[in-house]
Every structure is written in structure tokens, then in C-alpha cells.
A and B are shown apart, each in its own frame.
Chain A
Amino acid sequence: MLTYTFRRLLTAIPTLIFISLIIFLLLDMAPGDPTAQLPLTIPPEVREQIRQSLGLGEPVHIRYLLWLKQMVWSEPVYYLSQSVDWISAPDEARLISWQTRAPVMDTILERLPQTLMVVGLAYVVGVLIALPIGIISAYKQYSVFDQAGTFVSMIGFSIPPFFSGVLMIILFTVMMPNDSFWWFPSIYDTTLVIDSWENFGKQVRQMVLPVMVLALQTTAQISRFMRASMLDNLNQDYVRTARAKGMTESVVVLKHVLRNSMIPVVTVIALGIPAIFGGAIITEQIFKVNGIGQLLIVSIQASDVPMVQTLTFIFAILIVFFNLIADILYGILDPRIRYD
């Protein structure tokens, strides 16, 4: 298992390098010029110097290697040097955003908590709802509950987040009377500091709508998967054996069947995490959550190349990393899988 993990880690490196190359080259064609916003009175030679200082004078391959070095070496070392004092900060300048002139990673780290809070919570909620639905649907196959579950997950698949989000806003913000308990704010207030129970309540309320939208998507997918996996196992011989031994139905289902059915579901849950970050771009846009998805959209519209490159690369790292996690988890959970 350990050798397999190492081997997978090693193959992840060329994958990431290749993806970073694609991202870099694609964005290198961007039409935006970082000096276009500067006043016209700046003489051309000074303008050229500014371009040089932003690292634009070099040929493509040099710039790519410099960017890669900055991404995987300088920035991590910088953050290490901030936390431990026996590492000195690297000499290179930080990766600077063209739009805000602030270090790219600092902006991303500022935005990350909002995304993690909303998206992460939504994913947990979605999974927690999906698992029981999947189990009951499979146990009572073709019952009313199962049919309803199928229908609801079909709807969850079909209604894109940009419609379900807008629909939620209309239902719970526009149509609902303002003083009702069921009224929820449609705009996420990031400046809210949780220092009292009242503010905590506010925070919970403003998270309800985005979490609901994201959780609907997760629930639809995972509950279908859980159901299929449970159905595969419920017809197996070992279930009959367990029943024949006289075990109670709850032990048979929740202990024997559930444990075996969870193996593929856990990997699907792991695989879905990066996809949720991507899907959250739209949800963040609707509810004005200023997380990294919203940051990406704003940077794309302002053709802020370093920011977009870094964000896209982070998304790619997440995907590769969770693919790895899913594969390793599968090997650990299912002893029948032997990678070596």
C-alpha cells in the first residue's frame, strides 16, 4: 500500500506539471496588458521598465519556469518563514496580482475561509442527508419513498444551481414577508464578526440559502450512488447467511450491508470535493459570497493573469489530490483491492 501511495504521488507530479503548463500557455495568450490602466503621461521607456518589473520581458519558457518556481517553492517558503523563525524569507518578489497589486496568495487566503465555510458545510450537510435517503431507498426498493427519492434526485440533477439559487431567493427573500422566521437574506455578509449569539444567528441565517442550493446537488448525486451500492450488496449471499443466523434486521443492514456499501460511496464523496469547488463558482456569484469562486470571475473579467493562473492551478491541485485520496481510500477500505 505504501509503495502504491508513493508511486501515485510520483505520477501526480508530471500530471500537475503538464496541467500547469496548459494553464500557463493558455493564459499567456490573454489580450490584457497590465500597464494599460496606467496614465498615458508615463513615457514608453518607463512603461517598458514597469513591464519588466512585472516579469513580462522574458521569453515564454523562462517565465513559465519562474512562475512554477514561485508557485511550488517561493510562496510555500514565504509562509513557512512567517510561521517559524529559523527559515528566512525567500529573496524573490511575491507573485503580484495585476489588479490589486497585492500578493496573489494573500488575497486567496483571505477569500478561502468564506468558500470553505459555505461550500464545506454544504457538502457535509448534503452527504448527511444523502446517506439515509440512499439506505432507505435501497432497502425499500420501488416503494413510495424510493420513487420520491428518485424523482427528487432527478430534479436535483436537472435544476442547475443558477436556477435553484434564484428560485430560493424568490421564495425565501422576495416573496416571504420580511419579519417572518422563514425569511433569509440573499446576500452573504462577509464582514459579520461572530462575537455574540445574535450575530451567530445572523451568520447561520445567511448561510442557509447557499448551503441549501449546494446541498441539493450533492444529495442528488450521493443518494443515487448510495442506493445503487446498497442494492448491489443486499442481494449477496452473505446477507442471506446473516439473516439465517438469526441476526436482527438492523444489524444485517446497518452493520453488514452498510459497511460494504460504503466502500465505493466514500471514494465518490472524496472525488466530489473538488467538483464542488468548481460548482461553487456559480453559487458564490448568486449569493454574493466573496470566496475564491467569485475572486476567479472578477479576475477573469479584469484579465488579471497571475490571479487566474494561480486559482486555476489550485483547482487542478485539488482535483489531482482528491483523486489520489479516493484511490488510496479504496485500497485501504476494500482488502480485495490489491494495487501491488
Chain B
Amino acid sequence: MTDTSIDARNDAEARNQWWDVWDQFKTHKGAVMGACFFIFIVLAVYVGPWIWSIDPTYIDVRARNQGPTWAHPFGTDQLGRDMLARMMAGGQTSISVGLTAMGLALFLGTLVGVLAGYFKRIDGILMRLTDLFLALPLLPLLLVMVMLFRQPLSASFGPETGIFILIVIAIGITSWMPTARIVRGDVLALKEREFVLAARSIGTRPGKMILRHVLPNVMSPIMVSATLGIATAIITESALSFLGLGFPPDFPTWGRLLFDATDFMQQHPQRVMWPGLAISLTVLSVNYMGDGLRDALDPRIRGL
């Protein structure tokens, strides 16, 4: 942030660190393509239903099992429901789950990481807790959690919201550990820096210190794990749906659509491709984005 004053350019004052990051990010072609594709997918699933206004649950038995036509660009399923509309509806759920679960995991991970790194007294116990969570068999536990809490949550929040809350919480509390470890390491290193000492010497309280001085400086690892977190959350949700333990069949998600399509793999192989491609390409684009972000946020590479 301070180095910009040495910069000969006139706009030195208006320029902050994130512009440098953006400049570096732009040089990574894969990352830019990934970001563009991800934005495209997000727009397609959230704005798309306004343009393509067929109801994803509308059953048209006469038009079932159709291949791609102008009326149904992605074809129809075994009940004659439009696949394009279902893909959009499914994408909304999948991406919402991915983003929310990532947010929860990030919040938990950052909280544990900052607390463990900043307060020495609770460092040991928090890191033991992290190790414990890392030693848990996650996929089996996720399956068990979904099995156990599906009924009560569906009863109190309705089938869709209930399972949404359940899956987001389940993915969130089983994927915060890597973030916590990385953040803790960075906080430990930051604590030894002079500006923290300076801030402490003028009597900054720990809460203020964490919010004003520590958190902004650990933003880069948090952002990188955010992108990777979206990818894992989307894959985990799809895996749960694929195993038949995710959303109920009337609420399509990409994993659920893939699961339903595998029954008709012999006759209509193209129906498997849409949800599978959507999951894979979204995850691929997010991974490339994370790759570019990691390079852009690393000051040793920046400016080359």
C-alpha cells in the first residue's frame, strides 16, 4: 500500500493494493477465462429463468425423452420436463449451496485461525480440535448427518429450505479446517511484525487489533481458500445428491439431475452430459480462478 508513493505515476494516491492484484490477475489467461465463465454460469442460472420462462416442474408427458430441439434446447426428461429450465433451477440450488457453505466454512475457519494465532492460551486446544476434525471420515459423517437430521429439519422449515440449511451446515462444519490452519500460520507471522507492535504500544485493544490490523492482512489466503471452497462445496453437494441423500427429487440440483439421468444412460446418454458438464466446468473455472488469484496475491510474483 505504501509503496505506491514511490511510484512515478500521477494516480499514485487513488491506487490501492487491490488494483495491483487486479493487474496481475489480468495477465493470467486461464484465470480470466475462468472468472468470465463463472460469471456467465452465475448469470445464466439466476437471470436465465426470466428469459427462459418454462416452469422446471411442468410435466408434459407427450414430449418426454426428447432430444435437443428448438422448443427444448437441452431436450426433455422422462416426464417431459424441460431440461434447460431444470438445469437453471438446479444450478441455482447448487451454486447457492456452494457459495453459502463456502461462506460458513470461511467464517468458521477464519474465526478459529485468528483466535488460535492471536491468543496463545487457546492456540493448543483449537489446533487439537482442528486436527481432530481433519481425522474425521468426512464423507461417511456427512451422509450420516444428512440421514439423521433430514426429517426434523424438513418438518420445521419445509422440505427445500430444511435440506438446504442441513447441507450448508454439514458442508460448512466439515470443511473449515484447511482455512483455519493457513490463517493461523499467517496470523502467527503477522504478530511478530513491527506495525502490530506499534499498534499495541498505543493501546489498541485485541478486538480492534484483529479487525483493523490482522484481518486485512490475512485477506489473501482467505480469498484463495474461498475460491477452492466453492469448488469443494459444489462437488460435495453434488456427491450427496448423487448418492440419493441430498435434495428431494422435486428440487433439482446438478447432482440430482445427474443421478436421475444415470437411469436412462443406455437410451439417452446426452442427458447425463448437461449436469455433468455444468458441474465440471464450474469447478474447473473456479479452480483456474483460484490459481490466478493465488499468483496475483503473492507479492513475490506481482509486478513481473
Q: Which residues of A contact B (CB under 8 A)?
A: 15, 18-19, 22-23, 26-27, 29-31, 154-155, 157-160, 162-163, 166-167, 169-170, 174-175, 274, 278-279, 281-282, 285-286, 296-297, 300-301, 303, 308, 311-312, 315-316, 318-320, 323
> Do B258 and A166 have beta carbons less than 8 Å apart?
yes
With A163-B276, A285-B243: A31-B143 Cβ-Cβ less than 8 Å: no
Chain A residues near B243 (CB-CB < 8 A): 281-282, 285, 297
B43 is an interface residue with CB less than 8 A from chain A: no
> Do B276 and A323 have beta carbons less than 8 Å apart?
no
> Which of B135, B136, B259 counts the most chain A CB atoms within 10 A?
B135
> Do A154 and B284 have beta carbons less than 8 Å apart?
yes
- CB within 8 Å: A-B pair count: 113
Q: Which of B135, B139, B269, B276 contacts A174 (CB 8 A)?
A: B269
- Separation of A285 and B259 alpha carbons in the complex (Å): 11
- Separation of A131 and B286 alpha carbons in the complex (Å): 26
- Separation of A22 and B231 alpha carbons in the complex (Å): 27
- Separation of A285 and B284 alpha carbons in the complex (Å): 24
Q: Which of B231, B242, B276 contacts A282 (CB 8 A)?
A: B242
Q: Which residues of B contact A (CB under 8 A)?
A: 131-132, 135-141, 143-145, 147-148, 151, 231, 235, 238-239, 242-245, 255, 258-259, 262, 265-266, 269, 272, 276, 279-281, 283-284, 287-288
The chain A residue with its CB closest to the CB of B259 is: A162
Chain B residues near A318 (CB-CB < 8 A): 137
Chain B residues near A157 (CB-CB < 8 A): 283-284, 287
The chain A residue with its CB closest to the CB of B128 is: A15
> Do A158 and B284 have beta carbons less than 8 Å apart?
yes
> Do A166 and B284 have beta carbons less than 8 Å apart?
no
- Separation of A21 and B238 alpha carbons in the complex (Å): 29
The chain B residue with its CB closest to the CB of A159 is: B280
- Separation of A315 and B136 alpha carbons in the complex (Å): 8
Q: Which of B147, B262, B287 contacts A303 (CB 8 A)?
A: B147
Chain A residues near B283 (CB-CB < 8 A): 157-160
Give 11 new A-B contacts, CB below 8 A, not counting A22-B136, A31-B148, A285-B242. Answer: A15-B132, A154-B284, A157-B284, A160-B283, A162-B238, A167-B276, A174-B266, A300-B147, A301-B147, A315-B140, A323-B135
CB-defined A-B contacts under 8 Å, sample of 5? A22-B136, A162-B258, A278-B140, A296-B143, A315-B137
Chain B residues near A319 (CB-CB < 8 A): 135-137
With A312-B137, A316-B136: A174-B265 Cβ-Cβ less than 8 Å: yes
Q: Which of A155, A286, A301, A315 contacts B284 (CB 8 A)?
A: A155
- Separation of A315 and B142 alpha carbons in the complex (Å): 13
Task: Give chain B's interface secondary structure class.
Answer: helix
> Do A163 and B280 have beta carbons less than 8 Å apart?
yes
The chain A residue with its CB closest to the CB of B277 is: A163
Task: Give chain A's interface secondary structure class.
Answer: helix
Chain A residues near B141 (CB-CB < 8 A): 23, 26, 312
The chain A residue with its CB closest to the CB of B267 is: A174
Chain B residues near A166 (CB-CB < 8 A): 258, 262, 265, 272, 276
Chain B proximity of A308: nearest CB distance (Å): 6
> Do B135 and A15 have beta carbons less than 8 Å apart?
yes
The chain A residue with its CB closest to the CB of B228 is: A157
- Separation of A174 and B276 alpha carbons in the complex (Å): 17
With A154-B288, A282-B243: A160-B136 Cβ-Cβ less than 8 Å: no
Chain A proximity of B59: nearest CB distance (Å): 25
Chain B residues near A169 (CB-CB < 8 A): 265
- Separation of A286 and B265 alpha carbons in the complex (Å): 12
> Do B235 and A160 have beta carbons less than 8 Å apart?
yes
The chain B residue with its CB closest to the CB of A26 is: B144
> Do B238 and A160 have beta carbons less than 8 Å apart?
yes
- Separation of A27 and B283 alpha carbons in the complex (Å): 32
> Do A296 and B140 have beta carbons less than 8 Å apart?
yes
- Separation of A185 and B46 alpha carbons in the complex (Å): 40
> Which of A162, A167, A285, A311 counts the most chain B CB atoms within 10 A?
A162
The chain B residue with its CB closest to the CB of A296 is: B140
> Do B132 and A19 have beta carbons less than 8 Å apart?
yes
Chain B proximity of A18: nearest CB distance (Å): 6
Chain A residues near B281 (CB-CB < 8 A): 158
- Separation of A311 and B245 alpha carbons in the complex (Å): 18
> Do B269 and A175 have beta carbons less than 8 Å apart?
yes
Chain B residues near A282 (CB-CB < 8 A): 239, 242-243
Chain B residues near A167 (CB-CB < 8 A): 272, 276
- Separation of A229 and B48 alpha carbons in the complex (Å): 44
> Do A160 and B140 have beta carbons less than 8 Å apart?
no
> Which of A170, A175, A311 counts the most chain B CB atoms within 10 A?
A170
> Do B137 and A316 have beta carbons less than 8 Å apart?
yes
> Which of B255, B280, B288 counts the most chain A CB atoms within 10 A?
B280
